[in-house]
Every structure is written in structure tokens, then in C-alpha cells.
Amino acid sequence: MTIKEEIIRLMQELPDEATAEETIEDAMERLYLLYRIERGEREIAQGKGIPHEEVRRRMTQWRK
């Protein structure tokens, strides 16, 4: 799906009764979230991700 198609789909999913301000903010937040997810998936496919066990190790250190 292209970005344009994704934006159109996102706009069609927004509720009709939302105020203009809420709708714009919701759409922008959702679009940014989808962008970040897609970017992360692309990085993982390129081998740029951090292995799950490494993330667990780091999180354990953060909690100390």
C-alpha cells in the first residue's frame, strides 16, 4: 500500500462526529505511529534490529 493510499484509508476510518481539531490530531498521531512501525519493520528486515535477548538484558540494567 502506498503512503497516499494509507493516508486515504486513515482519513476514511476517522469518526464523522469528531471535531476538526481532534480529527487532525488523531490522524497525525496515527499516521506517525504507522510510519514508525513501517520504518522499524524495514530496519529489522535489513538486519538493523536489536535481538530480543539484548533488549531484555538492557531493560534489566535500566531497572536497577
Per-residue pLDDT of 5-29, as tens digits, reads 877 887 787 777 766 766 778 778 8
- The residues, any chain, with a CB within 8 Å of residue 40's CB and separated by 6 or more, are 49
> Residue 38's CB: how many other CB atoms inside 10 A?
13
pLDDT at 8: 85
Under 8 Å between Cβ of 10 and 24:
no
In the block, residue with C-alpha cell 536489536: 50
pLDDT at 48: 92
Cα→Cα distances 31→3, 4, 5, 26, 44, Å: 9, 11, 12, 8, 20
Q: Which residue type is seen at 23? A: T
